[in-house]
Amino acid sequence: MTQEHKTQKKDHSKFFIDFKSIRFKYWLSFIGFATILLLILWLLQIVFLNQFYESMKVREIEKIGYNLTKQYNSKHFKQTVLLTAFTKGIDISIVNEDRYITFPKSDNNVFSQPKSLPREYFNQYFAKLDKKTKPSKIFTQSFLGSDEIQLSYSSILGEKNGKIEYLLMTTPLEPVESTIDILKNQLIIISGLSLALALVLSFFMSNHLAKPLVRMAKSAKKLGDGHFDVEFTKGDYTEADELADTLNHATDELSKTLEMRKDLIANVSHDLKTPLTVIKSYGEMIRDISGDNPELRKEHVNTIIQEADNLTLLVNDLLDLSKVESELSHLQKYPLDLEKLARSVLNRFKMMEQYNGYHFDLEVKGTVVILADESKMRQVLYNFIANAVNYAGLDKQVLIKITETGDQVLCQVIDHGKGIPEDQQKYIWDRYYRVQKNHSRFIVGTGLGLFIVKSILDLHDFNYGVESKVNEGSCFYFKAPVFKDIKK
């Protein structure tokens, strides 16, 4: 039932447009862009074409008139007039103050009277012209019973034979309506085509853009459901590739941390359970068997104490971790003598020298005072030495070397244990990481010790590392600047 309901719902959602989706937004901007472009085209071609054409014509005729007027006194004036009339398709005539058209002549008969211009036209063209105040004028006129509009230009040319001569130029303003009609039809086709093209293109492009996102959202959902083997697939374009890379990396890290956390819980519960079982059974043994036998009882009590110590170690590691991680842990840096610190830490391992056959050596060269937080550095040294003890070789030797090298102090903790394989060395500083996954009863550990060390040394900004060879031993070290007392 539920399945059916879900499917129905899904089918339904197909018909709704998601206004927030990348597809819709992309499509909208594409269409918007195409519409704006078309609108500009319409305005220029259709609405303003008439004005555009008229003002262009006016400017052209003004320029020609101005040039001709200037050339009135030149030798080739009449030739120029004829040539201009011919090439530009303009009617050009020269009229004198008696209204006679002196050029061009109406026929080739030199004796015939020149044609004269009707008075009303003459007045219309030339009446208000004045050499100084208004040497030329331009205007449009339409004629009754005709659609044609005529553009006229008139100007004063100068005097000839004691009579003033005028220039008259007329040209029809072609009606642009028919052109506009053609353009309109063309534009309708162009608009339709480009909108359709924009629609199709934007559909494909937005699909192309959204595809990797949709794919990755599906993978992320799987990840959210706990499938850590999910892969964010690359493809399509660089940004999607980068996103896929980042998400794959995050998935890796997440699954690693979860894996380690699982290990830790398994380890910690094992580590808690085993000493408790031992403590309980040794307690019972004391109660039932060795209570009256002082020697055996002492042995049993020692075992109980040792197991309790192991438990403390484990709990301490967990507590340290939360302390280092909490925001409250601020460094309190003071001058710190590493030799004194090492001696005091080694004191805690004295028992192991006495009872377990370990041997600790401390070598100090130079002044080994640094500026650091004492309690935190104590933890670093303690963890290094505890590891050296835990993973020491058969010789049970641990060497602590503290050396002043120029302006640095180098502190090394060296053992001859089983070492760490090179490919594992970069991971041992990670939280919960342990080289030996199958848990050994004899080595209590949480995989947190070196992570705590790393956090502390990072806080101090000290360099640190490990040099290790399998079956030869390890040398864990850190380097800190020598503290220089400026008061000295």
Select 61 or 321, whichever has its Cβ closest to ligand ADP.
321
- Shortest approach of ligand ADP to residue 381 CB, angstroms? 13
Select 93 or 267, whichever has its Cβ closest to ligand ADP.
267
Gap between the Cα atoms of 474 and 387, Å rounded: 10
- Shortest approach of ligand ADP to residue 354 CB, angstroms? 22
Residues in contact with ligand ADP by the rule CB under 6 A? 383, 387-388, 390-391, 415, 417, 419-420, 428, 433-436, 445-451, 474
334 contacts 328 by C-beta, under 8 angstroms: no
Closest CA to 391 of 362, 420, 426, 366: 420
- Shortest approach of ligand ADP to residue 21 CB, angstroms? 48
- Shortest approach of ligand ADP to residue 364 CB, angstroms? 21
At 91, phi and psi to the nearest 5? -80, 120
3-state helix, strand, coil in the chain (%, to 5): 55, 20, 25
Radius of gyration of the chain (CA): 51
Query: Under DSSP, is residue 180 helix (H, G, I), strand (E, B) or coil?
Result: helix
Dihedral angle over CA of 242, 243, 247, 249, nearest 10: 10
Select 206 or 446, whichever has its Cβ closest to ligand ADP.
446
- Shortest approach of ligand ADP to residue 472 CB, angstroms? 11
Instruction: Say how many Å lie between the first and final Cα of the chain, rounded.
Output: 86
Residue 343 has a CB neighbour count (10 Å cut-off) of 13
Select 335 or 421, whichever has its Cβ closest to ligand ADP.
421
- Shortest approach of ligand ADP to residue 445 CB, angstroms? 3
Closest CA to 337 of 380, 382, 376, 367: 367
- Shortest approach of ligand ADP to residue 418 CB, angstroms? 6
Residue with tokens 């055996």, as numbered in its chain: 296
266-278 b/e (C-beta count within 10 Å ≥ 16 → b): ebbeebeebbeeb
The two most distant CA atoms of the chain are separated, in Å, by 167
At 170, phi and psi to the nearest 5? -135, 145
Select 286 or 420, whichever has its Cβ closest to ligand ADP.
420
Select 198 or 385, whichever has its Cβ closest to ligand ADP.
385
- Shortest approach of ligand ADP to residue 388 CB, angstroms? 5
Select 72 or 451, whichever has its Cβ closest to ligand ADP.
451
Select 84 or 310, whichever has its Cβ closest to ligand ADP.
310
- Amino acid 357 reads G
Query: Under DSSP, is residue 469 helix (H, G, I), strand (E, B) or coil?
Result: strand
- Shortest approach of ligand ADP to residue 399 CB, angstroms? 12
Closest CA to 463 of 448, 481, 446: 481
- Shortest approach of ligand ADP to residue 301 CB, angstroms? 27
Query: Under DSSP, is residue 434 helix (H, G, I), strand (E, B) or coil?
Result: coil
Query: Under DSSP, is residue 463 helix (H, G, I), strand (E, B) or coil?
Result: strand
Select 68 or 444, whichever has its Cβ closest to ligand ADP.
444
Gap between the Cα atoms of 37 and 450, Å rounded: 65
Select 360 or 451, whichever has its Cβ closest to ligand ADP.
451
For the purposes of burial, counting CB atoms within 10 Å of the CB of 374, is it exposed (0-12), middle (13-18) or buried (19 or more)?
middle
